[in-house]
């Protein structure tokens, strides 16, 4: 895990999900995945929006021409754990299809203009993932 991510994660957990700096005005979650190749646990801070009872995250990687590693982890194993504020829960991550992908991306870009910049920086279609909390057993 990069030092940058580690610092954000520590700040997130120390402040009930609130962080400063670049993410100060964004809603942030911590996404626990299983490595697609390694099978090891992975943890990434990711900005999110809400869409009904689902959380929406975008595999933007800052507009890079490749998807972030966590995206491949979600595709390989959609069973994830999510931390939002002080809540931690198991969930299913689903890669959206068109036209829902575009609708959700536009919604996120409207809330956080940086996502429009990311869309302009790359020729790839940036994946949008919805997260649905699993029901208690």
pLDDT band at 4 (very low <50, low <70, confident <90, very high): confident
Residue 22's pLDDT is: 80
Q: Would you say the C-alpha torsion 75, 79, 80, 84 has a positive or negative sign?
A: positive
Strand ranges (E), 1-137: 28-34, 41-47, 49-51, 54-58, 79-84, 87-95, 128-133
DSSP 75: H
Give me the phi and psi of 89, to 5 degrees please: -150, 155
Residue 14 half-sphere exposure toward CB, CA atoms < 13 A: 8
pTM: 0.92
pLDDT band at 3 (very low <50, low <70, confident <90, very high): confident
Using alpha carbons, list the distances in angstroms from residue 27 to 23, 57, 65. Answer: 8, 11, 24
Residue 130's pLDDT is: 98
- In this structure, the chain runs to a length of 137
28-73 confidence digits (pLDDT tens): 999 999 999 999 999 999 999 999 999 999 999 999 999 999 999 9
CATH code for residues 3-133: 2.30.110.10
- The domains of the chain are located at 3-133
User: Cα torsion at 61, 126, 48, 64 (round to 10°)?
Assistant: 10
Q: Output the six-digit token pair for 99.
A: 């036209």
85-100 confidence digits (pLDDT tens): 999 999 999 999 999 9
Residue 1's pLDDT is: 52
């Amino acid at each position: 895990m990069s030092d940058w991510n580690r610092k954000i994660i520590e700040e997130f957990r120390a402040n009930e999900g609130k962080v400063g700096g670049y993410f100060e005005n964004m809603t942030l979650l911590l996404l626990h995945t299983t490595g697609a190749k390694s099978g090891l646990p992975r943890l990434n801070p990711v900005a999110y929006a809400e869409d009904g009872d689902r959380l929406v995250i975008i595999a933007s990687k800052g507009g890079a021409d490749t998807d972030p590693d966590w995206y491949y982890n979600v595709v390989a194993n959609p069973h994830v754990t999510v931390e939002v504020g002080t809540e931690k829960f198991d969930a299913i991550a689903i890669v959206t299809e068109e036209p829902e992908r575009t609708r959700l991306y536009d919604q996120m870009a409207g809330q956080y203009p940086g996502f429009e910049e990311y869309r302009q920086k790359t020729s790839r279609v940036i994946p949008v993932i919805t997260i649905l909390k699993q029901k208690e057993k």
